[in-house]
């Protein structure tokens, strides 16, 4: 799962989230995201150049295999810190946030 935040009107890539996505959660998330599919990448800063030390980069090759969605679903993520590259370190999926609007998601400082 790729996650991001809005900076002004641009959706910025924040990282990949794998932890916490157990099979039944993946099924629920896939069902929710199916209605939001779109053909193009919504992130303004992908693909990333190379890969980070923590393996969080997204190459052009990676992007060819991905399914994109409108940035309307909001998820709650637990993480340790922001990296110097503005990526989440040690992120974990906690759940969907139906009470939030995607365009309201900003980077926490």
Asked whether the whole model's pTM tops 0.85, one would answer yes
Bridge partners of residue 16, in order along the sequence: 2
**Structure confidence at residue 53 (pLDDT):** 54
Dist. CA 105–CA 74, nearest whole Å: 8
Those residues whose C-beta lies under 8 Å from the C-beta of residue 92, and which sit 6 or more positions away, are 17, 19, 20, 77, 78, 79
| Res 102: pLDDT | 86
Give the model confidence (pLDDT) of 56-81 as tens digits: 688 999 899 999 999 999 999 999 99
Predicted confidence band of residue 8 (pLDDT cuts 50, 70, 90): confident
């Amino acid at each position: 799962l790729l996650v991001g935040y809005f900076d002004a009107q641009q959706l910025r890539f924040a990282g990949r989230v794998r932890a916490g996505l157990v099979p039944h959660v993946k099924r629920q998330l896939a069902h929710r995201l199916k209605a939001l599919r779109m053909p193009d990448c919504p992130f303004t800063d992908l693909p990333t150049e190379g890969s980070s030390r923590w393996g969080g980069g997204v190459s052009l090759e990676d992007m060819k295999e991905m399914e994109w969605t409108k940035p309307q679903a909001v998820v709650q993520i637990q993480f340790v810190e922001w990296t110097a590259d503005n990526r989440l370190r040690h992120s974990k999926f906690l759940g969907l946030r139906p009470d939030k609007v995607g365009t309201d998601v900003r980077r926490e400082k």
